Amino acid sequence: SRAVESQSEGQCAPVDSLWRRYSEFELLRNYLSVTYPHIVVPPLPEKRADFVWHKLSADNMDPDFVERRRIGLENFLLRVASHPVLCQDKIFYSFLTQEGGWKEMVNETGFQLKADSRLKALNATFRVKNPDKRFTELKHYSDELQSVISHLLRVRARVADRLYGVYKVHGNYGRVFSEWSAIEKEMGDGLQSAGHHMDVYAASIDDILEEEEHYADQLKEYLFYAEALRAVCRKHELMQYDLEMAAQDLTSKKQQCEELATGTVRTFSLKGMTSKLFGQETPEQREAKIKVLEEQIQEGEEQLKSKNLEGRDFVKSAWADIERFKEQKNHDLKEALISYAVMQISMCKKGIQVWTNAKECFSKM
């Protein structure tokens, strides 16, 4: 990593190198997700290979996979570093520059205490009465995006398997032409040359499909981005749920206060039945309770106002980041799909060239 501040002052900043484990990247991302709930935090690359063609190892210690994962982790850091808000985080800067004590620094922030439980998130999903239509639609979109990309990656893996088989079978042509050339005098050279072209073609598929995995990784990034989108939607649901619970609690306290002040009970309660059976409270007791309730109502109103402001700020910030993410997504996926198509065209041209060369060899026999 290189410090930008030193460069801006005209000095040559020293390059700092340090070791980070995958688990430390996970810790950094968890911290960013909890600390910036309104941001679509870039995802990490997969820990173990998935959606692979059969020759590529799914072993997470395979050197090729480890290198691809390293590239993915570097891309994650670049995504965070280019984000207008995340790039300014002090913990992220320490992750890049501080060898020791980084984990302790993260834990001292207490971000784990801010993390919402899954049970609470599930509760909010089913019990929110007035969900924001935009976030509901975004949640459905993220589910569909994940489904589409998963299907696309599975199709790609099947196509890659078939391509691998087709290319490798051309090696059989090479062997047969070579064996045939040994028993022919006039046709021998042509058959031998055609066989050589087939062998080269068959061998080229390994490099081609390994290059194709790079495009698959670009798609996988957005497969995992779908979960980051859902995380923002879940956080909004939780905020809406807390807001509705606070409003409900405030309404309940106002009703209790009114009932105590007027001496009428609107709704059935165990407390009301107890009063009827064992006598009413004294005026002093009632006044004391009314005073406590009025204080709680005042606190509740302030809390509700605060939650409303917090919710509006969250929606404004989250939607701005979602719009930024959409532009990034459209640009990245367009480039990835175009590159994938160009690669497929190149593969087809190689096939045409091989058979054109073979035709010339046959013509010279």
φ and ψ at residue 125, rounded to 5 degrees: -60, -40
pLDDT band per the 50, 70, 90 thresholds, residue 13 = low
Look up residue 50 and give its two tokens: 């998935």
How far is 341 from 216, CA to CA, in rounded Å? 12
Task: Give which of 84, 106, 101, 94 is closest to 40, Cα–Cα.
Answer: 84
Please give the average per-residue pLDDT across 51-68, as a whole number.
Answer: 66
Q: pLDDT by residue (tens digit) across 196-220?
A: 999 999 998 888 888 888 888 889 9
Residue 364: DSSP 8-state: T
Higher-pLDDT residue of 306 and 10 is: 306
pLDDT at 59 over 60: no
Say whether domain 126-262+284-364 belongs to CATH 1.20.1270.60: yes
Q: What is the pLDDT of residue 16?
A: 73
Q: pLDDT by residue (tens digit) across 62-82?
A: 777 788 889 999 999 999 999
Please give the average per-residue pLDDT across 229-249, as a whole number.
Answer: 90
Q: What is the pLDDT of residue 15?
A: 56
How far is 58 from 253, CA to CA, in rounded Å? 59
Q: pLDDT by residue (tens digit) across 271-292?
A: 554 554 444 667 777 788 888 8
Q: Note the pTM of the prediction, 2 decimals.
A: 0.81
Q: Where are the domains of the chain?
A: 18-112, 126-262+284-364
pLDDT at 54 over 70: no
Cα distances (angstroms) measured from residue 284 to each of 257, 260, 278, 281, 291: 14, 12, 17, 8, 11
How far is 208 from 360, CA to CA, in rounded Å? 25
As a whole-number percent, the residues of the chain with pLDDT over 90 amount to 46
What is 18-112's CATH number?
3.30.1520.10
How far is 51 from 82, CA to CA, in rounded Å? 29
- DSSP string covering 124-191, please? HHHH-SS--HHHHHHHHHHHHHHHHHHHHHHHHHHHHHHHHHHHHHHHHHHHHHHHHHTT-SSSHHHH
Q: pLDDT by residue (tens digit) across 148-171?
A: 999 999 998 888 888 888 898 999
Q: What is the pLDDT of residue 273?
A: 47
Residue 99: DSSP 8-state: -
**What average pLDDT is seen over the chain?**
85
Buried b / exposed e over 120-151, threshold 16 CB at 10 Å, is: eeeebeeebeebbeebeebbeebeebbeebbe
Q: What is the pLDDT of residue 253?
A: 87
With beta carbons less than 8 A apart as the criterion, state whether 333 and 149 touch: no
